[in-house]
Structure 1
Amino acid sequence: MPVNNTKTQIKLEDIIKQVEGQRYPPVEKWNPDFCGDIDMQIKRDGTWFYMGTPIGRERMVRLFSTVLRKDEDGKTYLVTPVEKIGIEVEDAHFIATALEVIREGDEQALKFTTNVGDEVIADKDHPLRVEVDTSSGEPRPYIRVRGRLDALIARPVFYQLVEHAQTQNRDGKTCLVVPSRGTLFSLGEIDDGDM
């Protein structure tokens, strides 16, 4: 029975339009005065805290997440048209908690969903990167969500990502790589003994 490629193509195009059509306040265009720091943190596990207490209202966290901005000074702020307030981020701004691999012919798109509902497809504007924790040697994978805001890719999602990777020889070293929307991302080197 022949496969209907049109249906698959429409699905991929629809998903890309949906992801690209997400709307956020134009925080990059707002330049209010800095009002100081507040006792708010985004912990390593993605939990938001205010004055030492977890923020339990998911809708409140989602609202705050839409007005986040990381500036060139490396600091993260909550930004509105009239104020800019500094907050602390232990690691990444978000956690990528789900991965959908979408294929169309030879093309592949990797769509991530974050703990606050953002969706992002890895591409040249939303790169994947893997840092190595110097103390543990463990990989710490990230994806750029928007602006300078990143999501740490949760360990189970990273394992899922690795399942879709292929090996490639780079400068005499074997690397795991994964394609998404025409860009090839390295997930790191592997020992030939692990293969």
Structure 2
Amino acid sequence: MSLEKITSQLNLSGKEKKLPPVELWDPPYCGEINLRIKKDGSWYHNDTVFKRQNLVKLFASVLKKEGQDYFLVTPVEKIKITVEDVPFILSQWSWRQGEYGEMQVATSLGDEFILGENHPLHISDNGCLYITVRRNLLAKVHRNVFYQWADIAKARQTPQGTELFLPCGGYELVLGHF
């Protein structure tokens, strides 16, 4: 499967559109493509980095995870790709409605959402923070964002030790136990 064939089936106009319903599509498996999303969130094809951000956003819009595997899907094809960790990086955040109101976050690809029940924070076994972006796709919290959160976090004692957390619009963002 070639990159050109995939892009020809998708909209490359660059205009904002709502995400395609990939969770409803179950096309036949067409093989694997040498496309890799690195741990830092950069996308590569045949060991060459994508330079067009619009193309990366386009492919991210048709990304689907099944079990531990990632696929680019259209209504008629499903192509496996490699993801080293998770496909997105959470790179920005801000308070809405003042300090400790709702927290708006954004990925490096421009996905924006409010942290909370629909977009929860997960702490991995190795202590890395991840947030559900959409469907079952995760974003890793960038180190700079984590340090900014840790700088303003509150501490409390729990049976597991000291816990750092941020009150966040009725939701507590637990950064970890120390």
TM-score by length of 1: 0.77
Matched, 1:35 2:59: no
Q: What is the identity, as a one-letter code, of the residue corresponding to 1:63? A: L
Q: Distance in 2 between matches of 1:45 and 1:107?
A: 28
Matched, 1:81 2:78: no
Matched, 1:99 2:87: no
Match of 2:43 in 1: 48
Determine if contact 2:63/2:72 at 8 Å carries over to the other structure. yes
Match of 1:57 in 2: 52
Matched, 1:123 2:116: yes
Q: Distance in 2 between matches of 1:37 and 1:182?
A: 43
Following superposition, the deviation at residue 33 of structure 1 comes to: 0.8
Partner of 1:25: helix, strand, or coil? coil
In the TM superposition, what whole-angstrom CA distance separates every residue of 1:120-167 from its partner, at most 9, and x where no partner exists? 21111211122253xxxxx42111100111111111111112233211
Partner of 1:161: helix, strand, or coil? helix
Q: Rg: which structure is higher?
A: 1
Following superposition, the deviation at residue 189 of structure 1 comes to: 1.1
Q: Distance in 2 between matches of 1:130 and 1:179?
A: 17
Partner of 1:158: helix, strand, or coil? helix
Matched, 1:157 2:151: no
Q: What is the identity, as a one-letter code, of the residue corresponding to 1:84? A: K
Matched, 1:143 2:131: yes
Q: Distance in 2 between matches of 1:90 and 1:126?
A: 22
Provide the identity percentage: 38
Q: Distance in 2 between matches of 1:44 and 1:172?
A: 30
Following superposition, the deviation at residue 38 of structure 1 comes to: 0.8
Q: Distance in 2 between matches of 1:116 and 1:172?
A: 36
- Larger displacement relative to structure 2 (73-82 or 175-184): 175-184
Q: What is the identity, as a one-letter code, of the residue corresponding to 1:68? A: L
The 3 A distance-change label for structure 1 pair 145 and 85 is same
Q: Which one has a larger percent helix, Structure 1 or Structure 2?
A: 1
Number of aligned pairs? 162
Q: Distance in 2 between matches of 1:55 and 1:113?
A: 20
Q: Distance in 2 between matches of 1:31 and 1:181?
A: 37
- Larger displacement relative to structure 2 (87-96 or 168-177): 168-177
Q: Distance in 2 between matches of 1:24 and 1:155?
A: 28
In the TM superposition, what whole-angstrom CA distance separates every residue of 1:93-137 from its partner, at most 9, and x where no partner exists? 111111112235x8621111111111121111211122253xxxx
| Runs of 4+ in structure 1 over 3 Å off | none
Q: What is the identity, as a one-letter code, of the residue corresponding to 2:144? A: P
What residue ranges of structure 1 are gaps of 5+ in the alignment? 1-21, 134-138, 191-195
What residue ranges of structure 2 are gaps of 5+ in the alignment? 1-16
Q: Distance in 2 between matches of 1:156 and 1:145?
A: 19
